[in-house]
């Protein structure tokens, strides 16, 4: 009897409704992917062709890669060094700055934050010209990679500050900091031991953004570089100016081969941190 009552009161389960939007979304995603990656794949393939005008019928070769490396191999180490140094400066300056702006409610702090993002809106050529006018007379500094690094820091620092500052403004993090203060933790212990680990995913995301922007920056770098301080994007422009399509395409392949492993490694670290935080949260 009880089973009959329960059976009568229970509605039969129906199969989940199909979602007609799913194929449409997959189709749009595939179209965007093809539209974005097809030109890149074509450019990479051109760098391996013996003669692009004759197509694949001319055969494949690594000749152009060898010429690119012989002419522009020095730009690889310099670009990686500048990008990693830019990330280090962004960490040392951007994380504390993001925290200070997140905790301050003064109008001065808000005005400073807006001024900090100004180089992002201003064309890179204008920023580079301002740096040359301000520090161009410092001969040793002007001729060194540090001059390019200064320009990259000015351009990329706002991204780190904005990314980390937004994380520091979370209500749960402010409550966590207050709890640590109540328990007697000093500022250094709260900042290094509580806050920084809590916003680690945002810090890694900021580092990834700073690295990619620095290693791919051209406009600002083109104005600041010297013949001895060419970076990957500047070398890429020079290779295109050679009027040999295969050389420029081969340089694109070298560019991707250099930056892709670094980006994958940084993304792997970000995913690992996110999984660790999710595991810790579930354990609590």
Is 148 domain-assigned?
Answer: yes
Structural domain including 252 reads 63-283
Q: Distance between the two ends of the chain, CA-based, in angstroms?
A: 44
Domain for residue 257, yes or no?
Answer: yes
Question: What pLDDT is recorded for position 14?
Answer: 52
Q: Is residue 174 part of a domain?
A: yes
Q: Domain count of the chain?
A: 1
- The CA distance from 155 to 213, in Å, is 8
pTM: 0.78
**What's the confidence (pLDDT) of residue 82?**
93
pLDDT digits (tens, 9 = 90+) for 216-254: 898 899 889 888 888 888 888 887 776 678 888 888 888
**CATH number reported for the structural domain that contains residue 193 in this entry:** 1.10.3720.10
| Distance, CA of 100 to CA of 106 (rounded, Å) | 11
Q: Is 214 inside any structural domain?
A: yes
Residue 274 and residue 203: Cα distance in Å, rounded?
Answer: 12
20 within some domain: no
Residue 95 in domain: yes
Q: What is the pLDDT of residue 20?
A: 55
Alpha helices in 47-170 (DSSP H): 63-72, 74-89, 95-103, 107-116, 118-121, 124-135, 139-142, 145-168
DSSP-derived secondary structure letter, 284 = -
Structural domain includes residue 158:
yes
pLDDT in tens, 39-97: 888 888 888 888 887 877 778 888 888 888 888 888 888 998 999 999 999 999 999 99
């Amino acid at each position: 009897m009880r089973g009959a009552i329960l059976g009568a009161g229970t509605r039969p389960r129906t199969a989940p409704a199909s979602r007609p939007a799913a194929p449409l979304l997959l189709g749009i995603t595939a179209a965007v992917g093809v539209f974005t990656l097809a030109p890149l794949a074509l450019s990479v393939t051109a760098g391996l062709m013996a003669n692009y005008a004759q197509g694949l019928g001319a055969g494949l070769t690594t000749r152009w890669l060898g010429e690119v490396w012989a002419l522009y191999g020095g730009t690889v180490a310099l670009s990686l060094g500048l990008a990693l140094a830019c990330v280090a400066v962004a960490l040392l300056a951007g994380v504390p700055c993001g925290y200070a702006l997140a905790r301050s409610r003064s109008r001065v702090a808000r005005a400073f934050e807006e001024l900090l993002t100004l180089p992002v809106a201003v064309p890179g050529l204008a920023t580079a010209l301002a740096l040359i006018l301000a520090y161009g007379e410092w001969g040793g500094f002007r001729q060194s990679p540090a001059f390019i690094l200064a320009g990259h820091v000015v351009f990329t620092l706002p991204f780190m500050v904005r990314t980390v500052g937004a994380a520091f403004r979370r209500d749960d993090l402010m409550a966590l900091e207050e709890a640590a203060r109540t328990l007697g933790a000093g500022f250094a212990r709260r900042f290094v031991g509580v806050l920084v680990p809590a916003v680690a995913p945002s810090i890694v995301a900021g580092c990834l953004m700073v690295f990619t922007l620095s290693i791919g920056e051209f406009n600002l770098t083109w104005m600041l570089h010297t013949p001895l301080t060419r970076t990957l994007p500047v070398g890429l422009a020079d290779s295109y100016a050679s009027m040999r399509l295969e050389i420029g395409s081969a340089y694109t392949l070298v560019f991707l081969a250099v930056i892709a492993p670094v980006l994958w490694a940084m993304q792997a670290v970000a995913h690992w941190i996110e999984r660790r935080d999710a595991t810790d949260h579930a354990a609590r």
